[in-house]
Structure formats: structure tokens, C-alpha cells
Structure 1
């Protein structure tokens, strides 16, 4: 994987970088270990954490996987995705470290489809 990214203004990347750094520290992983697991260089990851570089969606996905986070969490932090309405079930699934990213995604898709189905059914009942 290449370390291609656009330079960015410090203010727009600080939040994302700080979030990644906080998650790395909470996971008790050194910056060098995370860089290795994510397949990026140590200096590049350091620049991301300091808000000096804006990583691509692919790099964010690799960082998320290395930190055992949902890529969606980092995409929201980076402004790539809009944050969905709060849901304790969704939050619990995303935070669960006992399941893989693929399993989380599958469960979230099923959960969201049930929610949409129930919302539609409720609207139909209320309109009758």
C-alpha cells in the first residue's frame, strides 16, 4: 500500500488524528506497531495523528482493521460518512472486539434492514 494522501489544513485533520491516537493508546499499541499492522510508514501515521495528512478511505480502513475498530467509525470521524442516528445496539456491535469487521458489517446490515422494515410497517399502520 502506498502512503499517498493529500496534505491538509491542520484544523480539519486534528480531530481525526487525535481520535486515531486515542484509540491507539487505548489499545496499548505503539505508533510503530500500528503503522506496521496498517501497512503504512511510521512517519506517515505520525503525520496523520498530528493532523498534517489526510489519509485515503483505504488507509483509514487499514488503520481501523489494525485497531479492531469499525471502518465506519473512522469514516465518520474523517467526514467521509455522515453519522447515523444513535443506537445502543449499533454502538455495542461496533465496539465489540470479539467479532470481526466482516461480522460487524453483516450484523449491522441485518439490524438496519429490520429497523427500516419496522419503520415502514409502523408508517403503514399509522396511515390506515
Structure 2
């Protein structure tokens, strides 16, 4: 019998996605509509039953208006050390509980217009 030490767990992608979705005040269905990813599959990702591909993570990042790199780190595709040092403004806006959904949208739209990201 081989006694191996447990491998340290990667950050919980499902919990992180759920937190980001809730911060953006989106239901699973709304996120599914934004991303083209099925509601059941999104639910399985959030519950840790499925590990999404990089392409799925890219779609989720776009739908949540967050950094794809952050999702790659949480999924174990990138090391946290390879993260860019610059903060993700979209994440900060979505995470600020003092803002209303309308205020978040306005700020995200203004930011997108300033950085030339009109997706």
C-alpha cells in the first residue's frame, strides 16, 4: 500500500463562479442565456460535478464580465503566480455591494467605453 499525501485542493471553481454570478445578480438561467451554456451544465459546474474546458471558462468570464484568467486560476489551468498584477475593474465593480444593479451596469458600460471593450 502506498501512503500518498493528499494533493492540496485547488481553489473551488464552483463556489467562485456562484459567488461571481450572485455578485452580478444573475440567476443560473440568466447566465445560461448570456453564455449559451446549458443551465444544467452550469449547475453541475457550480456544484463541482463537472470541470469545464478553457472555452467554457472563457464564455463564463465574458457572461459574468470578469477576467478569464481568474477563472483559469480557480480551475487549475494557471498558477496564481502567473496572474497579471493589474486588478480586474469589472470584478471590483460587481463585488461592490454598495452599488445597485443599475449603477453597476452604468459603471461597467463606462469602463468598457473607456478601454475600448464594447462586447
TM-score range, shorter-chain basis? Answer: 0.5 to 0.7
CA distances 1:56-88 after superposition (whole Å, capped 9, x unpaired):
00000000000000111100110101113673x
Say whether 1:99 aligns with 2:112. yes
Say whether 1:17 aligns with 2:14. yes
Contact 2:57 2:68 in 1 (8 A): yes
RMSD: 2.8
Higher helix share: 1
What does 1:108-127 align with in structure 2 at a 5 Å threshold?
A: none
- The Cα shift of 1:20 comes to 0.3
Instruction: Return the match for 1:62 from 51, 59, 62.
Output: 59
Aligned residue pair count: 91
- The Cα shift of 1:92 comes to 4.5
Give the direction of change, closer, same or farther, for the CA distance of 1:103–1:19 in structure 2 (3 Å limit). farther
1:32 aligns with 29
1:118 aligns with none
Give the direction of change, closer, same or farther, for the CA distance of 1:103–1:78 in structure 2 (3 Å limit). farther
TM-score w.r.t. length of structure 2? 0.65
Q: Which runs of 5+ in 2 are unaligned?
A: 1-8, 94-107
